[in-house]
Amino acid sequence: MAVSVGSEPTAHEDHHHEQSFWSKYVFSTDHKVIAMQYMATGVVMGLIAGFFAYAFRMQLAFPGMDVPGFGIVTPADYVSLVTNHGSIMVFWVAMPVLLAAYGNYLIPLMCGCDDMVFPKINRLSYQVFLLSAIVLVASFFVPGGGFGGAWTAYPPLSAKAEYNLTPLGSSLWVLAVALEFVAFLLGGINFITTAMNSRAPGMKMYDIPVVIWMLLIASILFMLSVGPLIAAAIMLLFDQNLGTAFYDPNRGGDPVLWQHLFWFFGHPEVYVVLLPTIGLTADIISVFSRKKLFAYRTILYTAFGTGILSFFVWAHHQFISGIDPRMAHIFTVTTLLISIPIAEMMFVYIATLYGGSIRFTTPMLWALAFIGEFLIGGVTGIFLGASGADIYLHDTYFVLAHFHYTFFPITIIGFYGGITYWFPKMFGKMMNETLGKIHFWGTIIPFNFIFIPLFFLGMAGQHRRIYNFEHFPELATPGLQNIRVFATTALLIMLSFQLVFFYNFITSLRKGKKAGKNPWKANTLEWTTESPPPHGNWPPSELPSVYRPPYEYSHPDREEDYWPQNVPN
Amino acid sequence: MRPIANTRDVTGVPTGRLAIWWVIGSEIVIFGGLLASYLMYRLANPGWAGHAAHTNVVAGGFNTFVLLTSSLFAVLAHQAAEAGNGKKAAKLLIATTVGGLIFLTVKGFEWTHEIQLGYTITANTFWSFYYTAAGLHACHVIAGMIVMLIVAAKARRGVDLHHVELIGIYWHFVDVVWIFLFPLLYIAK
């Protein structure tokens, strides 16, 4: 492929050399372009999933309403909407944006090399991912509609067309998820080998920025946990289409097997998406406190510990699936244990802030919000990890609110924190701070107004996946219905504030102030090249070497308050 | 064009070898999940021994021998590639591929016979596992053969000789999976 070292990858007018638009933006092997492809696809899928949330929240607040832009939400529509909202948010938003987009963009840049080690495999990874997204979107339009068996796809509901009534949608869903896994296994090989093998000369293990460590650990966790679910997906496809009985209790199968295999992947998966956000939060907090990251090594050891422990908590999703109470007890203990390392990371971040000269830029606000909001998610998880309390709370809106308090900070805050921080590097322009802050508050405040009420609904006994609460007299009281209307109103406000972000994004791209190489005065290697970095990231003769750890801010011997990793002294 | 990133090896392990080991790591958990499920079911269903008795141990044993022999050719191909003899490496890789072909042919006869006797994938969950696990393994054999032919074609021209080692590692892995499948599906009665 023709390579244009030193040219501006974003300049559309660049016709004088060989690369066509197609080879540059569509079939590119450049890790930065692939990162943008992943991010754009993730954002589009996120808009679809957000639209789904709008449709089903409207139905819950105003049952039977003709939802503007969607129409009447039938029971079948409702289950399909919630199923695909969950599936998309986890597999087609959190994974591509946090792991694939940030991983692709940051690993070569922050490790000081010109590209991923296998650029063609990287391109293949995105193409398979795009195919998986297309298969999923196509499944909404087949006869019977999209899959409606919940994003966890428990059999027998997911296995038999007589039950889920979506013979094509359910198989296409499984196929899309399987393709998505293939894409991330291919991408993960690149992430792991690049971070392990291709670091800049002098970059020792403890000189690697935390976000790269976290992306690396997340990729390893994914690779080691997804296998059983791939096996489970094959069995589910065979149950759906060939008439095997892996999950059919009438014919010698066992539906709980799926739950084990699904959650053996599903719980490490939480950490697969959490760790990248934890990592980029660490980088942002250190930069905008102008202070060395507190206890760098402790964060790493904690992340390793979390990763290992995350393989031993999965059955806390199955406390009411007929699990032996003694086994439930063991999983309660491991689940409560895993809150310790995460709590410790939060304390480490607070210790980093302590005594720093804090700058409340937009990315910093997102990073701080991550600590606060994720804390609520973590603390409410304690109730669900304890098997006794979980028996009451299982499958209520309390669970739903809990995991939205984990996944929203992870995915949405993580995405906005990262994009506002690295936007100057990605596009060479500064984002508008005022609009950024309006968008921040317009997202964070309504977010809490959506989900705090749902905790109360859950404690009042409101179950998930019910399409119209009018059919349940105890849950149809005006008091409870008002809470639902309140949450839906907050959702509408939050969704409308996202327009501010897109407006800010586009206007900053066109008219933003030039960013220069290092607008935040940060230490890590990506800030030593042009913004946006050219193809190959640095001229081949100027690839950086590393002389120190990444968080040397406000060093007493230095006149400037930062000390880039690539500066010899 | 090979990126500069691909030429570095901070860990001391060549990048290609590192990558293939991670591929194998992720494959181990795929087969691991499937076989762990099978074992749990098998322990809960002693009656499956009766079904397992209908598998053809002789054919399975012959196939084990064929696969192990093909792995020997893969090792010899690696040795030839290390010595810089691309033509010899290519010939030995083709011999390995022929081993894979014999394996699949025997499997084809076995399955045809079993299906004719009524032991189809839906006959019983034992047979579901039998076809699923062996089928997934066969897919890996086919994929390995295709890649091996590509590597052989390149090695003949003396290009990318280090790929001979990588496909060899993968082939040994496919071999080892069969070493697990054969006793679990065929021998255990």
Residue A363 preceded by cis peptide, ω within 30: no
Which residue from A230, A246, A540 is facing B128, i.e. has the nearest CB? Answer: A246
Q: Is the pLDDT of residue A16 over 80?
A: no
Closest chain B residue to A121 measured between Cα atoms? B19
Which residue from A224, A242, A261 is facing B37, i.e. has the nearest CB? Answer: A261
Residues of A in contact with B121 (CB under 8 A): 238, 242, 244
Structure tokens at A410: 């992870």
Q: Is the pLDDT of residue A14 over 70?
A: no
Residues near B89 by Cβ (< 8 Å), separated by ≥ 6? B77, B78, B80, B81, B152, B155, B161, B164
Structure tokens at A34: 């692939």
DSSP letter string, A218-230 = HHHHHHHHHHHHH
What's the pLDDT score for residue A210? 97
Q: According to DSSP H, which parts of A310-357 are helical?
A: 325-353
Average pLDDT over residues A41-45: 97
Closest chain B residue to A199 measured between Cα atoms? B10
Q: Is the pLDDT of residue A198 over 80?
A: yes
Assess B69–A contact: CB distance below 8 Å, yes or no: no
How is domain A29-542 classified at the CATH fold level?
Answer: Cytochrome C Oxidase; Chain A (1.20.210)
**Tell me: the pLDDT tens digits for A323-355?**
898 999 999 999 999 999 999 999 999 999 999
Average pLDDT over residues A243-250: 93
pLDDT, averaged across chain A: 93
8 Å CB contact of A188 and B121: no
Q: Are B170 and B24 in contact (CB under 8 A)?
A: yes
Place of tokens 């008219």: A511
Place of tokens 């042919």: B105
Q: Is the pLDDT of residue A4 over 60?
A: no
The Cα B128–Cα B37 span in angstroms is 12
Assess A238–B contact: CB distance below 8 Å, yes or no: yes
**In chain A, what are the domain boundaries?**
29-542
8 Å CB contact of A224 and B124: no
**Tell me: the pLDDT tens digits for A281-331?**
999 999 999 999 999 999 999 999 999 999 999 999 999 998 898 999 999
Q: Is the pLDDT of residue A413 over 90?
A: yes
Assess B11–A contact: CB distance below 8 Å, yes or no: yes
Taking only residues 192 to 231 of chain A, the set having a beta carbon closer than 8 angstroms to any beta carbon of chain B reads: 192-194, 196-199, 203, 223-231
Q: Which helix (H) or strand (E) holds B22?
A: helix B15-44
- Residue A10's pLDDT band (boundaries 50, 70, 90)? very low
Q: Is the pLDDT of residue A11 over 80?
A: no
- Helix axes of B162-181 and B86-116: crossing angle, nearest 10 degrees: 20
User: In sequence order, what E strands does A36-124 have?
Assistant: 66-67, 71-72
8 Å CB contact of A246 and B125: yes
Q: How far is A220 from chain B (nearest CA, A)?
A: 9
ipTM: 0.94
Which residue from B27, B31, B124 is facing A252, i.e. has the nearest CB? Answer: B124
- Residue A5's pLDDT band (boundaries 50, 70, 90)? very low
8 Å CB contact of A234 and B136: yes
Which of A19, A193, A229 to probe the B interface (max B CBs under 10 A)? A193
Farthest-apart Cα atoms in chain B, separation: 58
For chain B of 189 residues, list the mean pLDDT of each consecutive stretch of 10.
Answer: 87 93 95 96 93 94 96 97 95 97 97 96 94 97 97 94 95 97 92
Closest chain A residue to B37 measured between Cα atoms? A257
Q: Which helix (H) or strand (E) holds A153?
A: none
- Residue A21's pLDDT band (boundaries 50, 70, 90)? confident
**Tell me: the pLDDT tens digits for A504-550?**
999 999 999 999 999 999 999 999 999 999 999 999 999 999 999 99
- Residue A17's pLDDT band (boundaries 50, 70, 90)? low
Question: Which listed CATH number (3.40.50.620, 1.20.120.80, 3.20.20.70, 2.130.10.30) goes with B13-187?
Answer: 1.20.120.80
Inter-chain contacts counted by CB atoms under 8 A, chains A and B: 132
8 Å CB contact of B28 and A227: yes
Which of B18, B21, B37 to probe the A interface (max A CBs under 10 A)? B37
Q: Which helix (H) or strand (E) holds B58?
A: helix B57-82
Which residue from A198, A227, A244 is facing B29, i.e. has the nearest CB? Answer: A227
What's the pLDDT score for residue A8? 39
**Tell me: the pLDDT tens digits for A146-195?**
999 999 999 999 999 888 889 899 999 999 999 999 999 999 999 999 99
What's the pLDDT score for residue A359? 95
- Residue A252's pLDDT band (boundaries 50, 70, 90)? confident
Assess A233–B contact: CB distance below 8 Å, yes or no: no
Q: How far is A536 from chain B (nearest CA, A)?
A: 8
8 Å CB contact of A231 and B33: yes
What's the pLDDT score for residue A22? 80
Which residue from B1, B37, B128 is facing A3, i.e. has the nearest CB? Answer: B1
Closest chain A residue to B14 measured between Cα atoms? A197
What's the pLDDT score for residue A7? 38
Residues near B177 by Cβ (< 8 Å), separated by ≥ 6? B27, B31, B137, B140
What's the pLDDT score for residue A2? 38
Taking only residues 165 to 194 of chain A, the set having a beta carbon closer than 8 angstroms to any beta carbon of chain B reads: 185, 188-189, 192-194
Residues of A in contact with B119 (CB under 8 A): none
What's the pLDDT score for residue A26? 82
8 Å CB contact of B34 and A231: yes
Which residue from A116, A228, A245 is facing B125, i.e. has the nearest CB? Answer: A245
Q: Is the pLDDT of residue A368 over 50?
A: yes
Taking only residues 75 to 114 of chain B, the set having a beta carbon closer than 8 angstroms to any beta carbon of chain A reads: none
